[in-house]
Amino acid sequence: MKAYGISPKHLALLLLTTASWGMSYVATKWLIADFSPLWMMGIRFFISSLLSIPLLFIGKQETSKKLTRLPMLCGFFLFLAIYLQILGLQYTTVAKSSFITTLFAFFTPLIMMFKDQVKIRIDFWLLLLTSLFGIFLMCELSFSGFNFGDFLTLICAIFCAFQIYYVGTATPANGSAMLFNLYQNLTIAILALTSAIIFETTPDWSVLTSEKSEMILLAFFVLIIFCTVIGFGLQVYTQQVIPAHLAGIFYLMESPFAALFGFVMLNETLTPQGMLGATIVTACVGLVPYTEKLTSKVKNYF
């Protein structure tokens, strides 16, 4: 049974996508002490690109210069988003960064309205704003002024929204999801490794043979396989069917999943206020498929 044209299969894949991204917070926390941000990004996306190559032999792949431009553009936006978020964390708190980043779910429909003249129904905006309120509760924010780090994170959220929007414009004619993801990841890898070589010191590779090696390898395994190859691959695949603004609100589930993995793997706790926020986000996301189709133009996505 489909909920307003969205199949249970694609809903499940969207949740799997956000769950895989939620694991990235734990993995990054394990790695940040030994690898700088750009080197971490470069290693993650370069190996992800290599591992994606064998997947291209599954089915017929179509490629051309035209079909590489869109994933490269998405890779550029995603590189800027990730890096700006990391830079912003040097000046702002984790809680504020987490909340401001989720504003991509607000900017994505605005981009659609501006570029595609799509009219978004009021019921969607109500669910979105309620979801963001749930994220606000989860982050347990205490605002003390808008600083430079908050500004960088806000720009990060805008770039995230552009990446989600342009992924949403991909169709099967743009090649397979894995081919799209390969070009996207390779773009990020080149940008990150080039920037790391210029601006950052080389990592101490001896850490890979130290007593922390198992934890480091496990963290990279999670980031590369689950968060990147699977996570971003599924993002491209599902957004060929589901509109970008609906996908964006589903991606807010990344925060509850991150909290869950933090509790299980890092013994982190969530206050009653945080649990209330996670419940609100989950409930709103669960209601999204049952909102009415938004416009005749959006119907073409289904």
Rounded to an integer, the average pLDDT of 55-71 is 67
In a domain, 89, yes or no: yes
pLDDT in tens, 92-108: 776 677 788 889 999 99
In a domain, 102, yes or no: yes
Total structural domains in the chain?
1
What is the per-residue pLDDT for 112?
92
In a domain, 48, yes or no: yes
Name the 3-class secondary structure at 6.
strand
pLDDT at 2 > cutoff 50: no
In a domain, 196, yes or no: yes
Least confident of 97-101, 109-113, 291-295: 291-295
Name the 3-class secondary structure at 3.
strand
What is the per-residue pLDDT for 173?
57
* CA dist list (Å): 80 to 12, 24, 46, 56: 28, 17, 16, 27
Which phi and psi angles does 267 have, rounded to 5°? 60, 30
Give the residue numbers spanning the domain of 233: 16-299
pLDDT in tens, 150-204: 899 899 999 999 999 999 887 665 557 888 889 999 999 999 999 999 998 888 8
Select the more confidently predicted residue: 52 or 295. 52
Query: Which residues, 6+ apart, have CB-to-CB distance to 60 below 8 Å?
Result: none
Runs of H (alpha helix) within 32-139? 37-52, 65-88, 94-101, 104-116, 122-139
In a domain, 220, yes or no: yes
In a domain, 205, yes or no: yes
**In angstroms, rounded to a whole number, what is the distance separating the alpha carbons of residues 186 and 41?**
11
| 73: number of Cβ within 10 Å | 18
What is the per-residue pLDDT for 55?
67
What is the per-residue pLDDT for 289?
74
Percent of the chain at pLDDT > 90 equals 30
8 Å CB contact between 156 and 84: yes
In a domain, 4, yes or no: no
In a domain, 164, yes or no: yes
